Structure 1
Amino acid sequence: MAQLIHIQTITDSRGSLSVIEKILPFEIKRVFYIYNVSSNRGGHAHHKTKLAMICLGGSCKILINSYGEKSTFTLQNPNECLLLEPHEWHLMQDFSPNATLLVLASETYDPNDYIYEEPHSND
């Protein structure tokens, strides 16, 4: 199930430093970031890949559909990290101007890992 975790951050007169070390439940095999967004992104799940999402600047919303149960997370602080498990369908939307979404992935890119059909509600 998707969960929001906090990244250790050290702040002093020089600014803030956030550290991602030994907090992710996977080894990072791919890193990408999304910016200059003009429409929704994502709209899929993965068979194997786990994801960690951090909005480094600005804000965005992540709609999650986990086996028909929907939830929405707003990412707007660079010390918050949204963890997604495989099979959690996600849609990234409502990006603020100049938002940058960093994504850390447990697997390298594989087009066969993608699930595009959104799960239906159990109702």
Structure 2
Amino acid sequence: MFNTDALIKELTFKAIRSSGSGGQHVNKVASKVELSFNLNASEVFEDAQKSTIHKKLQNRLTKEGVLILQCGESRSQHKNKALVIKRFLELISFALQEDKKRIPTKIPRAVIKKRLKNKRYLSDKKANRKKPDVD
């Protein structure tokens, strides 16, 4: 499908200080990892693959076609880097999966009967609300 080693080489990483509680350690250490991937400049994917990725991940890409992911779950920068790479690869493989084409099926006879029976029931219920005809 795609070469993961070549794809990982195209990624750029940046270490950021994590937010939240943690005292002095948080203020000193940059353990959060930010991954950025420029889809338009990628040489791993073909044009057709780029367009499908762009279509499926359009709400996660910037206007320039850059995918940005962050991970600050662990206190270790190396673990965060591994987690964000794993998340990125899962996201790309999800975007490249082809959707199954839906095969329209015939409506079962029992479903049609049930709908008509319910329709008749409601019709009778409304008819019973009317004043009776006295002839």
TM-score range, shorter chain: under 0.3
TM-score between both structures, scaled by the size of structure 2? 0.23
In our comparison, the structure showing a higher alpha carbon Rg is 2
Greater strand content: 1
Greater length-normalized contact order (CA 8 Å, ≥ 6 residues apart): 1
TM-score, normalised to structure 1, is 0.24
Q: Which structure has greater helix proportion? A: 2
